[in-house]
Amino acid sequence: MEEMKAQELEQQFLQAAKIIARVKEEISSFIVGQEEVIDVVLWSVFSGGHVLLEGLPGLGKTMLIRTISECLDLSFSRIQFTPDLMPSDITGTMLLQPDDQGRQNFVFHKGPLFSHIVLADEINRATPKTQSALLEAMGEKTVTIMGDTKKMESPFFVLATQNPIDMEGTYPLPEAQMDRFLCKILVRYPSHEELKEIVLRTTGKKKVQVAKAAAKEDVLALQDLTRGILVSEELLDFAVRIISATHPDGEEAPESVQKHVQYGSGPRGLQSLISMAKARALMNGRYHISTGDLKQASLPVLRHRILLNFEGEAAGITADTIITEVLDKVSGQGSGSIR
């Protein structure tokens, strides 16, 4: 009986890996390059978390998210955040509407937040009040309108974008609110060959159609499988050591952390690290996480959870440099790339 269960579980994970590979292949047929970004967004989707994307304008962030929604057959909405955007503009509002007898009743009209995948474009341009409404929906998966709580449909993902260069007229997210995002992804500039391919795909007559590679039920099933992936005591300890080493007073904190970091990651960072490692294991058809899963998940999960002090910012130190040194120290390795 136990052997049959093990074989059935193995088949489930192999099938899951095939579905994810099909989704990734379909996305890559339309989106040029950005393989790492696609991977991390998919890990986040199967972890059930929200993503903060940072990159220059025109790098295809909106197109990537729209393509993912089409591949997964999920509803999609895009909200362009501006300083005059009100919370009710995104959550929806109660409106007076006559019924068949001519009586006036309050009827809820859903806002664009009621979609499976929501692209919050330039989130740092909205006022803190509107940002808070979005972050409440992200954390609780509900919105409250005139005392009435409305539940979001599952699955529900928010992918917010930030422009790193045009900061005029923005309201940057406080660190406590940034922590609500499962991960932060830096969208890199395309290479020479990728730029040529982008032009060929977007300025010619031939149009690439994105096919549905999975359904809502598949996404929910994959999320359930992700939660069931095993984490050994040894690897859980390794994850805890990574988080502890991001704090200046941590036992294994490297010199750069002690010198340049004001605050390190909290417990939500540890939860996110384990969740993302599980999703990466699922993508590779494994029902247990590895050291490599934790290391690969560390940069996107922790880079927005480390607050540098004045000395660190003045020296031009980046969170990615800090995380890499933390991993080297905790792993007992010399300086090198993350594998």
Q: pLDDT of 114-145, one tens digit each?
A: 888 889 888 888 888 888 888 888 888 877 77
Q: 8-17 contacts: CB < 8 A, separation 24 or more?
A: 9/287, 10/287, 12/225, 13/225, 13/282, 13/285, 13/286, 13/287, 14/285, 16/221, 16/222, 16/225, 16/282, 16/285, 17/282, 17/283, 17/284, 17/285
pLDDT at 169: 57
pLDDT band at 246 (very low <50, low <70, confident <90, very high): very high
Whole-prediction pTM value?
0.84
**Domains defined for the chain, CATH in brackets:** 22-217 (3.40.50.300), 228-331 (1.10.8.80)
pLDDT band at 272 (very low <50, low <70, confident <90, very high): very high
Whole-number average pLDDT of the chain = 82
Q: pLDDT of 149-189, one tens digit each?
A: 778 888 888 888 887 655 555 667 777 778 888 999 888 87
C-alpha distances (whole Å) from 13 to each of 40, 95, 172 are 19, 47, 40
Task: Please measure the distance between the N-terminal and C-terminal CA atoms of the chain and give it in whole angstroms.
Answer: 37
Q: pLDDT of 62-113, one tens digit each?
A: 788 888 888 888 888 888 888 888 888 888 777 777 777 767 777 777 888 8
pLDDT at 335: 41
pLDDT band at 2 (very low <50, low <70, confident <90, very high): low
pLDDT band at 15 (very low <50, low <70, confident <90, very high): confident
pLDDT at 3: 59
